[in-house]
Amino acid sequence: MSGWAKKRFWKEASVEETDEGFGILLDGRPVKTPAKAPLTLPTRAMAEAVAAEWAAQDEKIDPATMPVTRSANAAIDKVTIQHGEVADMLAEYGGTDLLCYRATTPEALVARQAKSWDPMLEWAEQEFGARLVAVAGVMHHAQDTQSLEKLRTEVHKLSAFEMAAFHDLVGISGSLILGFAALRGVHDADEIWRLSRVDEQWQEEQWGVDEDASKEAQIKYDAFLHANRFYKLAQI
């Protein structure tokens, strides 16, 4: 968004339905992405969210207050033109999924991980026919290639807008399975975030909260919730 105008020059932001989807107009002029592509959204709900962000700007534009617009730009300018590469990159998380690497000690943490993560691996096997195996320790364990291929196929089915959201859900959680669980509504975003933070929560219980780590976690949490919301906006 660095190439955008830094000062507000419009009075009204509105939504326009087109043959391709929904566009954003500023005083009747269509908005484009930083790469000069039409800012065309897949649903009216997303378009209205983007228009609301533009309408809320003061004299100077603050991109930090426009998360839906930023994600839409990424979907159009980056994911659309690299769809296959992005899908393959995200699918690789299946081979090193957070849920598959377990602590060896203490027993209480081992039990907590199993209670939190085993149901998600079982869900993935039922949902996709993809069985991922959990191992103790951090040494890499090769997963079944057919299971990984089934998960890869599911990632490739996502639209550019869906994948823009999925990118952050997976990257922030460290888990392809939790990313899919968010998309399928297995749990709400807060619960999936909690499942991704089992180890961190354990450490906090043992040693207390580190202020810097807590601030970083809050940033990631906000980004995770936004990604979940962006995916939902792409569906409405």
Span 208-217, pLDDT tens digits: 999 999 999 9
Calpha distance 97→117 (Å, rounded): 11
Beta-ladder partners of 13: 26
pLDDT of residue 5: 54
> Is 236 a residue whose pLDDT tops 90?
no
CA end-to-end distance (rounded Å), the chain: 26
* Alpha helices (H) along the chain: 44-55, 67-74, 83-91, 107-128, 145-156, 160-173, 176-184, 189-196, 198-207, 211-235
Percent pLDDT > 90 in the chain is: 94
C-alpha distances (whole Å) from 132 to each of 122, 126, 135, 175 are 9, 11, 10, 12
pLDDT tens sequence across 87-137: 999 999 999 999 999 999 999 999 999 999 999 999 999 999 999 999 999
Outline where DSSP puts E strands in the chain. Answer: 13-17, 22-26, 29-30, 40-41, 101-102, 135-136
> Is 180 a residue whose pLDDT tops 50?
yes
pLDDT of residue 103: 97
The CA-based diameter of the chain, rounded to the nearest angstrom, is 63
> Is 4 a residue whose pLDDT tops 60?
no
> Is 200 a residue whose pLDDT tops 60?
yes
pLDDT of residue 2: 45
Q: Look up residue 52 and give its amino acid.
A: A
pLDDT of residue 6: 76
Q: Which residue has the higher pLDDT, 43 or 9?
A: 43
> Is 141 a residue whose pLDDT tops 80?
yes
- Average pLDDT rounded to a whole number, residues 196-200: 98
CA angle 8, 81, 168 (to 5 degrees): 70
- pLDDT mean across residues, the chain: 95
Calpha distance 232→236 (Å, rounded): 7
| Residue 223 binned pLDDT confidence (cut-offs 50, 70, 90) | very high
> 146, 65 in Cβ contact below 8 A?
no
Which residue in this structure is represented by tokens 């207390």?
Answer: 208
Q: What is the pTM of this model?
A: 0.94
